[in-house]
Chain A
Amino acid sequence: MNFSPLIRNREYIAGCNPSMKYDGSMPASEWQKKARKELSSLIGIDEIESFLPVSTVVSESECELYKEIVIRIETERNFFTTATLRVPAGLSAKAPLAVYLVGKTEDLDAALKDEGSVSALALGRGMCFMALEQRNFNSCFAITNEISPEAFTRTTWCECFRSSMRSAMIGRSTVGDRVWDLMRTLDVVLANYCFIDADNISVIGYRGNGTTAYYAAAVDERISSIVVCSSVCSWNSSLTSFNQCSCHYVPNIVNSFNMGDIGGLIAPRRISVLAYEEDEYFPLEGVSESYEEMKKVYSALGADKACELDVLAGDAIFDAATFIAKL
């Protein structure tokens, strides 16, 4: 006799036949149009008031290797995020852009180090680099004055919880909010910085930021490639097996999509999925399942080579070199 509601909910999810699952019954491109519309609605970007983003350059500086522009962007009325854009010194032609979705402050600091960081490696390849702060982190930090930072553990009461729950109540999601922020930031950057090659925009994300990158690429076709790690994994292998941060969860997603179906919306654009053999929270079995799902659409569009899964030894870490090598 089962008294566990979680077991019941996992059974429900396992038994779902998502309405937007790609089954080859229609041309892949036609499926993508329909599915993209459904996904946009589910993540709640349809609920966000149409808004022309407003940007302010907070600071500009130069060094031997790059020019840095810190931009504050109002992505929706009275909400601001911060992008740190670095342009290789002496840039004389359009360059690709690598966007790094960043969470905690220490991750931003690490990303902007002058050596060995994701920004340094991207710049070293002649790319422009942009670190974009995600909602509920850094300058977008949600108030958690009821718990001290020391008390923060992998529990319900993380930075994102209250913000994510409020977002859900109004028919949105933190995933959708972050996707929106990225889309509006791209609007600003492409409108104001003509040295960015608009046909060559890559987005990198790890864990929750990988989730954002994944969903963003699914709905915004300006993103030409993504590299994600510890994000793409079947629902029951990850989000319903462990207390992941509230910001990962999209209401009602399960009835429309498996995780892998969402990847199908990125085809034929490039996706590189990095998976670690010992990743406890996004286990390999679930990653592989999702990867096989998205491959169906890539194959249907003749883009098999644009879809990659790399399995790496050990526990999941963010290794800048591994990510940049995939761009």
Chain B
Amino acid sequence: MISIAEHKNYELLTGITPAMRYADGMDFSEWQKTARAKLFDILGMNKYEKCDPLFNIEYKTETDTYTEYRFTVQSEPNYFVPSVMRIPKGMETQKNPLMLCLQGHSTGFHISLGKPIYEDDEITISGGDRDFCVRGVEEGYVCVAIEQRGFGECKGGEELPRGCHLTSMAAMMSGRSTLGERAWDVMRVLDAILEHFDFIDEEKICLMGNSGGGTATYYTCCVDERISLCMPSSAVCSWDMSVGVKRHCTCNYVAGIAKYFDMGDLAGLIAPRKLIIVHGITDVGFYKPGVDKCYDLAEKMYDVAGVPQNCDLVTGPFGHRFYADLSWPVVHKMMGTVSKKED
């Protein structure tokens, strides 16, 4: 029987038993140490260099409901990350929970802020609860929208609709990865937030994102243990039902990852911290059976970690989007916070 390259590679991808998969009987925390080190290596995170963050607040502005700061952080030499923080009115004098927000493939992080700039932004925002910071502030969280590499202001000047391809291939050649870069950026922005803003409860740091933002959320939480709650949406799915079977953006791919981990295996690196996997039942980029496979693995490892209650799966009735009404109650339950949203 004649096969072709793509089928062959799919066959290889789905035939692998990941070398770092947690096996019954292993010491869980020892496994986490080894697995986290391996993931760090695969993402290329040993190839980034901390540097002077050159933290700069570009503006501060007030509305009736929140105070907004826009700031930049140098995350590695000669690369800057723009971010926008919103603090619910009256909360700057206390310690507050923090929700870091990562947008997916879109025109940029202004979507998270509910601020349309380009044609079709309105549809993007309203059609999938993608205004993460708007909702987060309503819920009573300090929210920070972070622009990810390859998107929006950090598109890199590529004229193609997707700004990720060339920079992602350059990263891959360098033994790095766009996902590793994005995780690094989030970590450096978090450093800056904790250093410069004294109204953040360090025990209540959360990270969320949808689609490409969800993928970056998941990987970041695997490597940064300061993050107490991880909420990836439309992102967590086994390779054979997502990036391995369908064309996804270049930035979703990590060289060598499948030898060691399937996506569900990585959940063990987040435990015992909180994990809320959000997905849409008709998502055609991240098929439900693949999401379920990952969640089964996640549940198993959260059981081993002794915190089965810290892992949840939120299923929305539609497709590829975030589900704010379904997800935020779970956030509050897990974080012990109370919604401040007025109905």
Contact = CB atoms under 8 A, between A and B. Distances in A.
Residue in A79, A146, A177 whose Cβ sees the most chain B Cβ within 10 Å: A79
Given A9-B170, A255-B174, A1 B11 contact: no
B123 interface: no
B258 interface: yes
Closest 10 A-B residue pairs measured CB to CB? Answer: A251-B255, A252-B175, A166-B9, A5-B149, A9-B170, A6-B156, A142-B6, A135-B5, A8-B79, A6-B167
B166 A6 contact: yes
A173 B178 CA distance: 18
Interface stretch (A63-71, A156-164, A267-275): A156-164
A251 B79 contact: no
A92 interface: no
Contact of B166 (A12, A141, A235, A243): A243
A243 B156 contact: no
Contact of A9 (B6, B160, B174, B257): B174
Given A5-B79, A140-B4, A168-B253, A146 B247 contact: yes
29 contacts: A3-B79, A5-B149, A6-B157, A7-B78, A8-B76, A9-B176, A47-B259, A76-B8, A79-B8, A136-B5, A143-B6, A161-B247, A165-B243, A166-B12, A168-B172, A169-B13, A169-B239, A170-B256, A172-B12, A177-B5, A239-B173, A244-B169, A246-B169, A251-B172, A252-B174, A254-B174, A254-B175, A255-B174, A255-B175
Interface residues of A, number: 58
Contacts of B153: 3
Contact of B156 (A4, A11, A47, A169): A4
B247 A13 contact: no
A2 interface: yes
A250 interface: yes
A167 interface: yes
Interface in A175-225: 177
A142 B247 contact: no
Contacts of B157: 4, 6
A13 B176 CA distance: 11
Interface size class of B (residues with CB under 8 A): 35 or more
Interface of B: 1-13, 16, 47, 72, 76-80, 82, 147, 149-150, 153-158, 160, 162, 165-167, 169-176, 178, 181, 239, 243-244, 247, 249-250, 253-259
A5 B154 contact: yes
Nearest to A47: B259
B223 to A, nearest CB: 18
A31 interface: no
A242 B256 CA distance: 24
A10 B170 contact: yes
B250 A156 contact: yes
Contacts of B250: 156, 161, 165, 246
Nearest to A240: B170
Contact of A13 (B76, B174, B239): B174
A9 B167 contact: yes
Contact of B174 (A12, A47, A161): A12
A10 B157 CA distance: 13
Contact of B2 (A80, A168, A240, A255): A80
Contacts of A1: 72, 80
A246 B166 CA distance: 9
Nearest to A250: B173
B253 A78 contact: no
A168 B255 contact: yes
B175 A163 contact: no
Given A4-B167, A254-B174, 10 more contacts: A1-B80, A5-B150, A5-B181, A47-B259, A79-B8, A139-B4, A140-B5, A172-B9, A239-B169, A251-B175
A82 to B, nearest CB: 9
A163 B9 contact: yes
Residue in A10, A146, A249 whose Cβ sees the most chain B Cβ within 10 Å: A249
A112 interface: no
Nearest to A160: B5
Contacts of A72: 2
Interface string A224-249: 00000000000100011011101001
B254 A169 contact: yes
A240 B5 contact: no
A249 B6 contact: no
B80 A243 contact: no
Residue in B77, B174, B178, B257 whose Cβ sees the most chain A Cβ within 10 Å: B174
B342 to A, nearest CB: 36
A253 interface: yes
B10 A169 contact: no
A126 interface: no
